[in-house]
Amino acid sequence: MAFCKNCGANIADGTTICPNCGKSLSDVATGGIDLSDKVKEFTNTPDFTGSLDAADISANKGYAILAYFGILVLIPIFAAKHSRYARFHANQGLMLIIANVVVEILLLVPIVQFFAGVLSVVLFVFMIIGIVNAASGKAKGLPLIGAITLIK
């Protein structure tokens, strides 16, 4: 049994068009929820790459990658203080550190340990996303925490 993403109507298997709203099969998700769309929506954050200098990005990728490894965020903050690209990723890394400290404190509270453990995994995934963005020359914010700016 499938459900139309547009109107929620039940659709028989093998149907190519929703009988209720007329949407095509490409717009129909099985199981009622299309997780790939939800993931794309969640990770669709602002991309500032176009506003940065290509030479700056190329010269400072290493510093940008280091920003996601905990205390190593200090290296791009001080060594590449004139690079907008390195500072962008240093800000993202600093936000991850702050979020990790909050999660570590939550782990001390027995009633929310499971929730904090899940958040810990989510922050690890954010770190991987940040490293991939930095290594590929993108200045794209992290989900949830990427819009907060502490370092300009």
* Beta-bridge partners for 140: 47
What DSSP string describes 7-58? Answer: T--EE-TT-SB-TTT--BGGGEEETS--HHHHHHHHH---B-GGGS-HHHHH
Sorting pLDDT into bands at 50, 70 and 90, what band is 12? confident
User: How many CB atoms lie under 10 A from the CB of residue 81?
Assistant: 12
Distances in Å between the Cα of 5 and the Cα atoms of 2, 10, 20, 29, 150 are: 9, 10, 11, 6, 39
What does the alpha-carbon distance between residue 119 and residue 101 come to, in Å, rounded to a whole number? 11
Q: Which run of H or E residues covers position 152?
A: none
Q: What is the pLDDT of residues 15-26, one digit of tens each?
A: 777 887 777 756
What does the alpha-carbon distance between residue 62 and residue 122 come to, in Å, rounded to a whole number? 24
Q: Is the pLDDT of residue 30 over 50?
A: no
Distances in Å between the Cα of 17 and the Cα atoms of 5, 13, 34, 35, 107 are: 12, 11, 17, 21, 49
Domain boundaries, the chain: 2-41, 45-135
Q: What is the pLDDT of residues 46-64, one digit of tens each?
A: 899 999 999 999 999 999 9
Sorting pLDDT into bands at 50, 70 and 90, what band is 29? very low
Q: Give the global pTM.
A: 0.74
Quote the Cα angle for 83-88-94, to 5°: 120
What does the alpha-carbon distance between residue 121 and residue 99 come to, in Å, rounded to a whole number? 12
User: How many CB atoms lie under 10 A from the CB of residue 94?
Assistant: 20
